[in-house]
Amino acid sequence: MNTHKAPNTEEFKVLLKKHDLKATRQRIAVHEAMLTIGHASADMVTEEIRKRGDAKVTVASVYNILSQLADIRIYHRRYSSNSKMYFDVNTFKHMHLYDRENNSYRDVLDEEFMDALYARLKRRKFKGYTIEDIDIQFICRPTAHKAKAITE
């Protein structure tokens, strides 16, 4: 899929069916929470589902659903520096701005750059290895004057 959008609930149901998975209430609730949060840990998704009152879930069951969906590439995994597993609802080619103070991610889109990078990598050989994926992350911290701007 070459779009810059995560699958909506209907498209998600189709994806589940393709992988012989039932569109259970819990899986739908997980996906709808992911659509809201974007990049999230199992704790965050569980909190969001409980807030909405969509389904009865535990962190463990949410983690299992997220892992299962990542295994079949409906989500991507992200490893953050607070040693928590984060999941990304967007699986199109994109980069990330990673806020290391708040452990949050923002998508950075630059198709031209990504295409150039893939084209360049195609010409390179890494002996004994096959490149499976590219993961680019800009590590940042919030700028101090942002808080000031709000009070001015």
In the list 11, 28, 107, 108, the residue contacting Zn ion (rule: CB under 5 A) is: 107
Site string for Zn ion, 18-57 (x = CB under 5 A): ----------------------------------------
Nearer to Zn ion, 60 or 140 (CB): 140
Among residues 56 and 77, whose Cβ is nearest to Zn ion? 77
In the complex, what is the shortest distance from the CB of residue 52 to Zn ion, in angstroms, rounded to a whole number? 22
* Cβ atoms 84, 101 nearer than 8 A: no
Pattern 72-101, Zn ion, x by CB under 5 A: ----------------x-x-----------
As a whole number of angstroms, the distance between CA 13 and CA 58 comes to 22
Per-residue b or e along 38-69, where b marks 16 or more CB atoms closer than 10 Å to that residue's CB: bbbbbebbbbbbeeeebbebeeeebbebbeeb
Cα 5 to Cα 89: distance, rounded to the nearest angstrom: 9
